[in-house]
Chain A
Amino acid sequence: MAAEDVYRQEFPVKGGDFAKAGAVACRIKDLLKDLGLDTKTIRRAAIASYEAEMNVIMYAWEGRVNLAVSPREVSITVDDQGPGIADIELAMTEGYSTATPEMRELGFGAGMGLPNIKKNADIFHIDSESGRGTRLEIVIRTNGHKT
């Protein structure tokens, strides 16, 4: 893929910044609309990026969302510095959550975040080191380019 055909942008996310919850996902969504991607791809990217952004806000100290869009796919990579995930397999289980009661009070932490990202992604990788941080790689293929 020619480099000029890929749009890249980095969005910083601060842990604990609930006031800005969803801001990055919104910007990504607006951008994908400007790029003329199809509705379904945008919806999937919106849901996946929102969940990923919220994971950083809820659990990590800080993180970066890196977006790369080509006509064929939307790639969202999220790196955070934080506590990491001790048991990834367990974290991928629907309903499993380490959210605090305060987070649940706000309506977060239903344990659907990571499973929801996976459900909306064509490619999903998760890598985590306890005490260091987590890296998510999400790829969503645009319509007409489904494999």
Chain B
Amino acid sequence: MKEKAYHSIHITKDKCIGCVHCLTACPTKAIRVQDGKARIIDELCIDCGECLRVCPYDAVHSHTTSFAALDAFAYKVAIPSTVLYGQFGSAILPNEILSALRRIGFDEVYDLSSICELNCAATEEYLNEHPRPRPFITATCPVVVRIIQGRYPALCRQILPIEPPREIAAKILRTILPKALNIPPEKIGIIHLTPCPAKMVSINSPATLNKSYIDGAISIRDIYPQILAALRKSQEDALMRHLFPETQFSGIGMGWSLSGGETRGLKNHRAVAVSGIQDTMRVLDQVESGLLQDIDLLECTVCPDGCVGGPLEVENRFLAKSRILQLVDAAGERAVVDPKDVSRLYHKNFLSFDHPVTPVESRPLDADPARAIRKAKRRERVFADLPRKDCGVCGAPDCRTLADDIVRGLARLDDCPFVKKEKR
């Protein structure tokens, strides 16, 4: 039997009232309302979290790691997304946030901005060595990778095969920490703190690794109150701590979570950054039609403005963005990574995918092409009879999708309230 794909996004049935908000927000038309409750079609869901953003009843839930679950590890390491630095006012410096994380129970905390810088340098090297194809597409956003696997299979080979900073950081820590601490590797828990529901998917069913180097992902929303409390308790200390900064942040990596941040450090290549799910799909459509070949690297993030617009953050994204831009300005062009180290890791394939991205099974109307053609014709006829109001009352997001469901045998014509009325 086929293994069921892991998903982070789930509907809490008790809270769902069967309205149409998530239906219309879903970019892959993966939601149907049946018997008064929303249901997600597994094969179509890309875990982007658009439904989570729009649900007025808090009925969409994303499965992330709970803080309590970390007790399973003897040594707990946090690698927070740089989005975290934008979640608190401008008086609170990243070093204080990292130290607050230590106080709430992490044994060690590592900043990712240096690894973001490393990733950028490795990307530059990869582009130098591979003049074709163009454009390459960055693999940082797990939802983009998933969309490409499902909807743009021909573009799988254009995904730039360097692991994203979170995985590189975890791999480095997994290599060095067991020896340094003399703790067995399985007792060390490496946890990503993130505004993104899809990170749990890339951890549990990685598209490019045999096994993720990360043990879990805690939502920024969940851990925010604890960090805030720890920060409040130590305001006095923080003042003095400013004078002894523990971590040197990378100016090149600091803005990574803003759209364009991944490619800002590229020196010799032309990059384009796209954010937001609709625009991402639009530009991938263009790439699939053979366009944008004069671009070396295409950075796509499905959240608006980049990861800083992730659905599981707390601060509104405009304020978070403004705060991160301040930090980018403050760090300037500061580089903290030696390019020679990057080159060595790169040539050891330490930064590469374990295996290329492969397409996931598509969902044709029928496995037999001749039958699929007949169904497509029937779908056009069915669609012609529908009112094109896209009201969602039938439980499908729009009339075209209802027609599709009908020929697939998943819905019936009289699910449409307008068709029913005419019959009466």
Contact = CB atoms under 8 A, between A and B. Distances in A.
Interface in A32-48: 33-37, 39-40, 42-43, 46-47
Contacts of B373: 4-7, 35, 69-71
A26 B290 CA distance: 12
17 contacts: A4-B373, A7-B373, A7-B377, A22-B291, A33-B151, A34-B376, A35-B365, A36-B367, A39-B154, A43-B154, A46-B290, A47-B290, A50-B290, A51-B290, A70-B373, A71-B373, A142-B369
A4 B373 CA distance: 8
A22 B369 contact: no
A116 interface: yes
A107 B295 CA distance: 12
Contacts of A46: 288-290
A33 B362 contact: yes
A72 to B, nearest CB: 9
B414 interface: no
A143 B92 CA distance: 59
Given A22-B285, A39-B154, A40-B154, A31 B376 contact: yes
A36 B369 contact: yes
A25 interface: yes
Interface in B64-105: none
Contacts of A135: none
B364 interface: yes
B289 A22 contact: yes
Which size class do A's interface residues fall under? Answer: 20 to 34
Contacts of A4: 373-374, 377
B372 A42 contact: no
Interface in A1-44: 4-7, 9, 22, 25-26, 29, 31, 33-37, 39-40, 42-43
Contacts of A49: 289
Given A31-B376, A71-B370, A36 B365 contact: yes
Interface of B is mostly: helix
Contacts of A40: 154
A34 B372 contact: yes
B276 interface: no
A4 B366 CA distance: 15
B286 interface: yes
A124 B283 CA distance: 28
A35 B153 contact: no
A29 B372 contact: no
Given A47-B289, A50-B289, A50-B291, A36 B372 contact: yes
A84 to B, nearest CB: 25
B359 interface: yes
Contacts of A25: 289
Nearest to B374: A4
B405 to A, nearest CB: 13
A71 B153 contact: no
A135 B290 CA distance: 22
Contacts of A5: 370, 373-374
A26 B285 contact: yes
Nearest to B281: A26
A116 to B, nearest CB: 7
The 9 closest A-B pairs by CB, nearest first: A36-B364, A50-B289, A71-B369, A47-B290, A43-B154, A7-B373, A35-B372, A39-B153, A46-B289
A126 B142 CA distance: 43
A34 to B, nearest CB: 5
A43 B365 CA distance: 19
Contacts of B289: 22, 25-26, 29, 46-47, 49-50
A31 B380 CA distance: 11
Interface string B286-303: 101111001000000000
Nearest to A33: B362
B290 A35 contact: no
A122 B291 CA distance: 21
Contacts of A9: 380
Nearest to A29: B288
Contacts of B359: 39
Contacts of B153: 39
A34 B365 contact: yes
B376 A7 contact: yes
Nearest to A43: B154
B406 to A, nearest CB: 14
A141 to B, nearest CB: 13
